Amino acid sequence: MTRQQVLDSYSVDANGVIRTPGKFEGEPIYAPAYWESALEGAYSFDTGHVFGFALDDAARKEFPELGDAQCLLLEEADQGFVYSELRDIMPDESDLDDDMEAGGA
């Protein structure tokens, strides 16, 4: 999913936050695109609860909101909402489940 496809599918405010009610409400513009990639198996790692993506210059070109982050984490809550978190370094996968559940995302 490209940036344009996200903009065509969701209402996004001036800060790049999705305002359309539902799964991605309140999340950054890049969340649906990376969630779609996760469902297609295009992630750097999967802990069974958290999908992780290594970010590169191509990712930052498509979604400048990623800034200088090196890693994006996505998690789907029991209620179906997707939460994202940017990290400056690639985390140790074994620590992620507890970290995200503690409100890290």
Q: What angle do CA 40, 42, 48 make, to 5 degrees?
A: 80
Give the total number of structural domains in the chain: 1
Rg from Cα positions in the chain: 13
Structure tokens at 28: 């950054």
State the pLDDT confidence band at 90, using cuts at 50, 70 and 90.
confident
Summarised one tens digit per residue, pLDDT across range 34-54 is: 999 999 999 999 998 899 999
More confidently predicted of 104 and 38: 38
Instruction: Note the pLDDT of residue 102.
Output: 41
CB 82 within 8 Å of CB 74: yes
CB 38 within 8 Å of CB 51: yes
Mean pLDDT over each residue of the chain, to the nearest integer? 90
- At residue 56, the 3 state secondary structure works out as coil
* Cα dihedral sign, 5-10-11-16: negative
Instruction: Note the pLDDT of residue 92.
Output: 73
Range of the domain at 23: 3-104
Q: Does residue 98 surpass a pLDDT of 80? A: no
Structure tokens at 47: 């802990």
Instruction: Note the pLDDT of residue 100.
Output: 53
Instruction: Note the pLDDT of residue 99.
Output: 53
